[in-house]
Amino acid sequence: MVQAADFDPAVSLPPGLDPGAIRRAIDYIGKELTDLVELYFEQANVFSAVVGIFGTKALHQYSQFEKNKHPDIAAQRFPDLCRRGRVGKLKPNDCLESKGSKRPFAIQSHFDHAGWYIVWRYLIDRLEQIEQGRPVIIWRVDVVFLTKEDWKYEGSKAGAAGGGRTHTFGVKAPAKKLRGTAVYKRQDIIVKGGKPIPVNGHS
DNA sequence: TGCGTGAGGCTGGTCAGAGC
DNA sequence: GCTCTGACCAGCCTCACGCA
């Protein structure tokens, strides 16, 4: 259940996005992902992308932001959403990127574009101990405006000889940067051991 | 203990060039 | 012209280690 007391009215939001829209979006994401939670256990790494996608859908529905009109850009590049009615070249202030993450602080991306970012921090409560009928809990929502300078490049050593992931960008000192940006934070969830857990429970 | 950083892992989509 | 293939782009994750 999304509680009004869990919202922080002091957090700056982009014009066209209000706490009411975020509240409805959290509810929408929680409901829609209930049927998809099995996906998390099949392939956890794609589930965060799904959370971000449903965040985009919800904000398209409930806020003054709309999905990017270019399907390929909306699906893969920046931004997911732009302010309704904007045409031509988008300014950073008109861009909103929706991201889902299990991690309490980090934001990772493959680009370093300036704009608004909304991060849906979620946890999986398979036994539904936190909330009956809700295996996916959005426990915090960060809304932050990031500039190019906020990102740092994290290179890749992937190559013919083997190796890992493609290069990424990460937000510098994310915990510091995200201080005061949590427009929604459940009081019954705390971060312990680098993971979100119920106040009176254990993960 | 909390947090930052880096490395290695997964997935799917688009696009351009090569070959038929 | 069509199909196949590889490079590249884009979305994340976990884990280990170091530092405060």
In angstroms, how far is B6 C1' from A156 CA?
Answer: 10
Is A203 a domain residue?
A: no
The tokens of A68 are what? 């990017």
Across A39-188, where does the E strand assignment appear? Answer: 65-67, 81-83, 95-101, 108-109, 115-124, 136-146, 151-154, 168-171, 182-185
Nucleotides of B under 7 A from a protein CB: 1-15
Report yes or no on A22 lying in a domain: yes
Which residues partner with A67 through β-bridges?
A81
pLDDT per residue as tens, chain A (203 positions): 788 888 888 888 888 889 999 999 888 888 888 877 777 766 666 677 778 778 878 888 888 887 765 554 444 455 677 777 765 566 777 778 788 777 777 777 766 777 788 888 888 777 777 888 888 888 888 888 877 777 766 655 555 544 445 666 777 767 777 777 888 888 788 776 566 777 765 44
* Total tally of structural domains belonging to chain A: 1
150-189 on A, CB < 7 Å from strand C: 165-166, 168
What's the CATH number where A141 sits? 3.40.600
Rounded distance, CA A196 to CA A124, Å?
10
A93 lies in some domain: yes
Q: Does strand C come within 7 Å of the CB of A77? A: yes
Phi, psi of A136 (to 5 degrees): -115, 120
Does residue A59 belong to any structural domain of this protein? yes
